Amino acid sequence: MNKKKMNKGEDTTPRNMVVAKHPHATASEQFRILRTNITYSGVDHPIRSVLFTSAISGAGKSTVAANMAIAYAQAGIKTLLVDGDLRRPTTHYTFEVSNRKGLSKAIINDVPPEEMVTKTEFDKLDLMTAGPIPPNPSELLASKSMEALMKALAIQYEMIIIDSPPLLAVTDSQLLCKQADGVVIITDVENNDRNELLDAKDLLEKAGANIIGVVLNNREERRGANEAYYYAEPVTES
């Protein structure tokens, strides 16, 4: 898999659901390892919601979030993928569903959250797409209504995976991390800068996030295989 440079426009191509299409691929195994690592990172306080974020755009958040959501569902865990990127959402393209309802509407409208959720082709996986793009994403994500929504969803799902916009661009991920038990930072090792990663980590820490790991995405060259390579490790400054 070659990771193309993204242009700045809307990228409507579905993200690769490798874990569903090629369950025996190296990348799929890495997603399952990440699932296990996330479980073990929450021994005292079980991790039941994870935010996937990155310093800058295009690191692979939406790809990793979608694959992780499928990996949890494949393990028989009732999972919800929430598209928390209210600016450039993509989960509806990946799962090829409508984006008419979703998170923005669930926050604004006083309707039962399940009405804003879409079933997917995967048994245990539901999707809350981003919904219509609002003029004030940060305000919505910081609202009491968002907090109440996430509490209601936590009762209905065993695992909630949240996709998000890049940290250094907008404040949304700092707001979203308050709704997640753990945060995983995705970094594109070929194209992302180490200092940006550390800046992202600082922003998350200031917001009180529980950073549980980093996914090093796009390591194909070093693997020599025709696969992406993912794993999680702690963020350190040394």
Ligand X SMILES: Nc1ncnc2c1ncn2[C@@H]1O[C@H](COP(=O)(O)OP(=O)(O)OP(=O)(O)O)[C@@H](O)[C@H]1O
Q: Which residues pair with 233 in a beta bridge?
A: 214
Rule CB under 6 A: say whether 168 interacts with ligand X: no
231 forms part of the interface with ligand X (CB under 6 A): no
Q: Does 3 bind ligand X (CB under 6 A)?
A: yes
CA distance 175 to 167: 10
Q: Does 218 bind ligand X (CB under 6 A)?
A: yes
Total of residues contacting ligand X (CB under 6 A): 21
**Site mask for ligand X (CB under 6 A), range 73-102, x = bound:** ------------x--x-x------------
Instruction: Assess contact for 86 and 11: CB atoms under 8 A.
Output: no
* Residue 1 binding ligand X, by CB under 6 A: yes
Residue 61 beta carbon to ligand X: minimum distance, rounded to whole angstroms: 4
CB of 63 to ligand X, least distance (A): 3
Residue 91 as a binder of Mg ion (CB under 5 A): the answer is: no
CA angle, corner 141, sides to 140 and 147, nearest 5? Answer: 105
In the complex, minimum distance from the CB of residue 11 to ligand X, in angstroms, rounded to a whole number: 6
Residue 142 binds ligand X, judged by CB under 6 A: no
Which of the residues 47 through 76 are near Mg ion (CB under 5 A)?
61-62
Answer for the pair 88, 41: CB distance below 8 angstroms, yes or no.
no
Compute the C-alpha angle 47/48/49, nearest 5°: 100
Residues 164/136, Cβ–Cβ less than 8 Å: no
- Containing 183, the helix (H) or strand (E) segment is strand 182-188
Nearest residue to Mg ion, by Cβ distance, number only = 62
**Listing from the earlier edge strand, what are the strands of the sheet with 159-163?**
118-119, 125-128, 79-83, 159-163, 49-54, 182-188, 211-217, 232-233
Interface residues with ligand X (CB under 6 A) are: 1, 3, 6, 11, 15-16, 54, 57-63, 85, 88, 90, 166, 217-218, 228
Interface residues with Mg ion (CB under 5 A) are: 61-62
